Structure 1
């Protein structure tokens, strides 16, 4: 039986499997970049639209013909005037998933050359919802509120027609003091790092109760009359309503 072994033997004849020197890499990169740019130029707006590559549509329009690209300060959608920096609810194509929340950063349109139809788009900066965070931080379920959202640095272009309506985003303290709020009112106090799947400013949030969790404005707390600290009823084994008219002292102050 004959057996062939791979060995590190120096061979005078060049092999096609030999690694290329670093001197050859820049020209290769340039050729790849040129091919990519050429491919983008040859790609039609229609095909990019079908692939939902809206950022590429904007880039192609800006590079090829400035006359077909235009930016605006406001746009009318669903009978409402929307402006840059407005917070909006954005329709999710999957009916089984919650709608999205974002802030409008740019409003623009591209005139499709072949059909002369306008592709109206908005660039939005995304917020993450509770359901999206819990995939990566399931233990945060007890302190993240239903109406809490998390700012990110991620932004994308969306079709303007996918915007449902404006929404309101306040800080946590303002949310607690609101007399009337609905499902279009959210609060934000933390930023989420999309790439690394973590909170970026968790050390700035005050922790409460024996369980040392951030404040959840949608839960009920009881305050110790001596130390002024706040506790969940469950964590101190109390029934809600039993201390409405009498003094409460926590286990440390009792």
Structure 2
């Protein structure tokens, strides 16, 4: 992948420290921290760039006193002006995987001292797509829409040139009422906890139908004329179009 996404996987197994006292763990962690700081200082910008360690590039540049780091309010990419808080589609280096969605939090550049070339970066807050959620929550596949995305608290630096274009993010109600929308319009109603792999505010979402699932604006529903509750056509064994001009009474009210 040419773009770092969500969180970096920690390959250090906790079992390595099993059986050690807390007194032993503290100096070990301090040595690891000092070693990381030393490696960062010794690494060149070019080495960090090749390793795609963009956050480390920013940290190293900010610590430098020669003015290598600079922030901006906007940047021009692909002929479009992008600003902080814009929602954007970000290219995924693997063509077999969907592109990413994020919100720009910071726009900056780092001057590479040896070549005098600018490394243009954006710090983005990530959204998760359906394909990334259902891996951990397969039962949610039936109610998550194809244009639904999930906010996270995870952010990271990306190369500015990996941004493809702006996109629109609305809430679920707005999405339902949109007259025209395309593949660059998404809706968000839930937050996803990346670390614990769970929805954060699921208790705030109303459930519908006999199956008690959240509303999916891409599915067909029918409303009972007595209780006013909504049901999936298939859950109450109805064919789409069979009740266009008729009253419908659900099994509970009948």
Normalised by the size of structure 1, how large is the TM-score?
Answer: 0.89
Q: Note the residue ranges of structure 2 that are not aligned, 5 or more in a row.
A: 1-18
Q: 1:88 to 1:23 in 2, by over 3 A?
A: closer
Greater shift, 57-66 or 207-216, is seen at 57-66
The alignment partner of 1:40 has SS state of helix
1:225 alignment partner in structure 2: 225
1:111 alignment partner in structure 2: 111
In the TM superposition, what is the alpha-carbon distance from 1:72 to its structure 2 partner? 0.4
1:176 correspondence with 2:176: yes
Q: 1:22 to 1:90 in 2, by over 3 A?
A: closer
Greater shift, 58-67 or 114-123, is seen at 58-67
Q: 1:182 to 1:25 in 2, by over 3 A?
A: closer
Take 2:61 and 2:21, find their aligned partners in 1: how far apart are those partners?
38
Question: Which digits, 9 at most, give the CA deviation of each residue in 1:25-74, with x for residues without a partner?
Answer: 76665444333222211100000000000000000001123501000000
Normalised by the size of structure 2, how large is the TM-score?
Answer: 0.89
Take 1:218 and 1:237, find their aligned partners in 2: how far apart are those partners?
18
In the TM superposition, what is the alpha-carbon distance from 1:176 to its structure 2 partner? 0.2
State how 1:94-133 maps to structure 2 within 5 Å.
Answer: 94-133=94-133
2:46 alignment partner in structure 1: 46
Q: Note the residue ranges of structure 1 that are not aligned, 5 or more in a row.
A: 1-18
1:13 alignment partner in structure 2: none
1:205 correspondence with 2:208: no
In the TM superposition, what is the alpha-carbon distance from 1:124 to its structure 2 partner? 0.3
RMSD: 1.7
Take 1:31 and 1:213, find their aligned partners in 2: how far apart are those partners?
50
Highest CA radius of gyration, 1 or 2? 1
Question: Which digits, 9 at most, give the CA deviation of each residue in 1:134-184, with x for residues without a partner?
Answer: 100111111000000000000000000000000000000000000000000
Take 1:89 and 1:22, find their aligned partners in 2: how far apart are those partners?
45
Take 1:177 and 1:164, find their aligned partners in 2: how far apart are those partners?
27
Take 2:67 and 2:113, find their aligned partners in 1: how far apart are those partners?
10
